[in-house]
Every structure is written in C-alpha cells, then in structure tokens.
Chain A
Amino acid sequence: QVQLQESGPGLVKPSQTLALTCTVSGGSITRAGHYWTWIRQHPGKGLEWIGYIYSSGTTYYNPSLESRLTMSVDTSKSQYSLKLSSVTAADTAVYYCALEDPYGLKYWGQGTLVTVSS
C-alpha cells in the first residue's frame, strides 16, 4: 500500500517561493508507469491538477502554472518536490501529492495547507 506524505512550510510570503516535498513509502518511486503528481485545492473550491514528475525526471506542468513551477525527484530518498515561485494570495491552497498509475489517481497524501500572506 503506497503512502504519501506532504511536508513544507504552511506560510509563505508573497513573491517568495513555495516549496513542498512528498515522501513516498510502501512502494518504489522508480516503478514503471507511476506518475508522481501534485494537485491543489483552493479553500472551498475544486481540484486543480498542477503537474507530474516521473522517476526519470521527466515532467509535465499545467500550462497555467508552468512559468513558475519546478518539480524534482530524489529517488534515493523516495521523495519528490514542488517549487512554485512568485507566489500570491491566489496560490493559497491545500496541496496534495498523489500517485497516478494505470488505475488512475489511486493514492493521495493527506494534503497540506499553504497560506500566502505577509
């Protein structure tokens, strides 16, 4: 059973960079066909797909965030990370890491609330 856990600051100042890490356990981060994904949910709103990273480092970013987004993976630590630069209040959201495999987005982290405020 794959488990994912987000970690990172809960408060980020405007114009700074939001950085989160997802730690994977119970499964291999290098398994073929596994796309390590980030999703966010603005308070009281729906779900927004941010992007994925594959264990090889291949990424796909949502074009709406692409210019500010960087994802990376550390297979030795079974972790992958997200960095979102130049944040504004509009980036305040619960950020989830999740695994997409051939059965869809089956496994999710519990989510972490990131507030952008001075």
Chain B
Amino acid sequence: DAGITQSPRHKVTETGTPVTLRCHQTENHRYMYWYRQDPGHGLRLIHYSYGVKDTDKGEVSDGYSVSRSKTEDFLLTLESATSSQTSVYFCAISESVAGAYQETQYFGPGTRLLVL
C-alpha cells in the first residue's frame, strides 16, 4: 500500500464523541487526501492537503476538520460524530516531481468507523 498506514483500522464510537483518524506516509509525498466510501456513493472527497499546513475542502467536508503539521501525517477529525458518518475512510497520497503534480493517487488500507 505504497507506504501508507491508517490508524485505527477499526473504531466503534458513540454519537457526539470526537474522533480522530490518522494517515501516515513514508513516501514524502506532497499531496494527501481523505475520502469516505459508502454503498451507492463510491468515493467522495472530504478534505485534501497540498502541503504542510495547506488544506482545502472537498465535496463532503461538513462535520470534518483536518490538520497537517508535518509532511508525513494528515489527521481527520470528526468533532462530534454522528451516525451519518459511519463509513469506511480512505487516505490517499500523490507526489510532486520537480514541482509538478503527479496525478496518480496511492491509497491506504482504510479505517472502518461505526458511530452508534
């Protein structure tokens, strides 16, 4: 999985609690992404990062925040988890070569989150 780990791999939490998912890469890639995957919706982009401390919203960012304080880690936080955020969350990375964005994305193994 291209040097990408996600933690935890599985989590069960209760509605209203904060949850933080971690994506860690050893590839030194510049771009990092968080997606959620739900039946009938495919993959939808939550947030992405184009550098340390540089992030932007994706298609389904409401209820989520992200932080990237160093190249290798991209954190996704659900401030107050809701049942609608039960999903499988994937992190992805892509690289920059000589300053040029490389379009291919490499995915982590995913985190299964259940919000009760």
Q: Do A and B bind each other?
A: no
- The chain B residues found within 8 Å of chain A, CB to CB, are none
